[in-house]
Structure 1
């Protein structure tokens, strides 16, 4: 059996996305690019420095949870998270990968054009200063310096992720019961399961997510004053 850690690394968001985007009808490669009035199509504009500590409330189709971010833990990741939340990036985003006792993963946008814009907006890694414990929040990546927009919440202590450079930037301080109740019956994606194929979701957005109608979603994510 392939270890679960290896499965995590082989199913991260950037793998195969370019091939799917080039081959799937109805994706961003086969349609006219929209007007650039949507600020989410301009990743280079997301450069604000985050406060040292702040909280974000996630209203979801299952309930509410709150993440507290700490810039001292992972400054590049926290700055990216802060900018994305302020711009409303996560509003409407589904929880596309929920693996009981492991992680909840989210960050693939319903608009494939937005996914295409962010696919190359990679961040350098932060040093791992905190362990991936239950309730800790971390950016996903496929290899060194490939973090973009996808985030996971640890549903258990996952110290093996520390050794592979996954740097937590915050923790769920309210509503962990909501995170644990998110719909997970679709399971993992190909090749280990029949759940969301992340490359296809990146390329087609809501057109593809429609095949998974039970997925919970973020209704709204906003900074708490």
Structure 2
């Protein structure tokens, strides 16, 4: 089975990414389940840092000015299917880390990486797109940072749109001053 391609239609343009289902089956299956449920449609990028990354996927970001943006995830206790098996999300909606089995793919420009709180098993729906090489976020690089973020995809087209979003002027909390909306995310 080929790796899925996802299209991200934003208010600033569209970009596409390949998801590494062959290497990160649980993380990608969780993400695809949320895409197919329409979870991401209508949300806003809630954190954009020029020369670093853009973060997305919090349900509270439906309101671009919500003070809770960046704190939410999938529905608590919901399920997704991975390789024919049902996987239960945790009571807070997060999913189990895939670190022990995932490949060492670095957080290079254009890669999609799971966001988390820094605690084990705290990823859920939020992810970020790296705009520079953030190797200090690589899960195996404990010599640089305790923060661990596994890469699960890479932008294939529209990197100019990603960089355009990355240059969006932001407020003191790193939220775009002019909201950048995710109109539709779809699996091709």
TM over 0.5: yes
Q: d(CA) in 2 for partners of 1:116 and 1:85?
A: 11
Post-superposition Cα deviations, 1:131-161, rounded to whole Å, max 9, x if no partner, equal: 1100000110012110011010000001100
Give the match for residue 87 of structure 2: none
Between Structure 1 and Structure 2, whose CA radius of gyration is higher? Answer: 1
Higher relative strand content: 2
Q: d(CA) in 1 for partners of 2:73 and 2:23?
A: 26
Give structure 1 regions of 4+ aligned residues with deviation exceeding 4 angstroms. Answer: none
Shift of 1:76: 1.6
Gaps of at least 5 residues in structure 2 are 77-90, 142-146
Written as runs of structure 1 = structure 2, the 5 A alignment for 1:49-64 is 53-64=3-14
Q: d(CA) in 2 for partners of 1:71 and 1:56?
A: 12
Give the match for residue 93 of structure 2: 121
Q: d(CA) in 2 for partners of 1:195 and 1:146?
A: 22
Give the match for residue 170 of structure 1: 153
Shift of 1:116: 7.6
Computed over aligned residues only, the root mean square deviation of the Cα atoms, in angstroms, reads 2.2
Decide which of 178, 182, 185 is 1:218's aligned counterpart.
182
Give the match for residue 123 of structure 2: 147
Q: How many residues align?
A: 153
The TM-score normalised by the length of structure 1 is 0.62
Asked if the contact 1:52–1:70 (Cα under 8 Å) also holds between the matched residues in 2, the reply is: no
Higher relative helix content: 1
Q: d(CA) in 1 for partners of 2:177 and 2:106?
A: 33
Q: d(CA) in 2 for partners of 1:100 and 1:185?
A: 9
The TM-score normalised by the length of structure 2 is 0.74
Asked if the contact 2:113–2:151 (Cα under 8 Å) also holds between the matched residues in 1, the reply is: yes
Shift of 1:78: 0.4
Asked if the contact 1:139–1:150 (Cα under 8 Å) also holds between the matched residues in 2, the reply is: yes
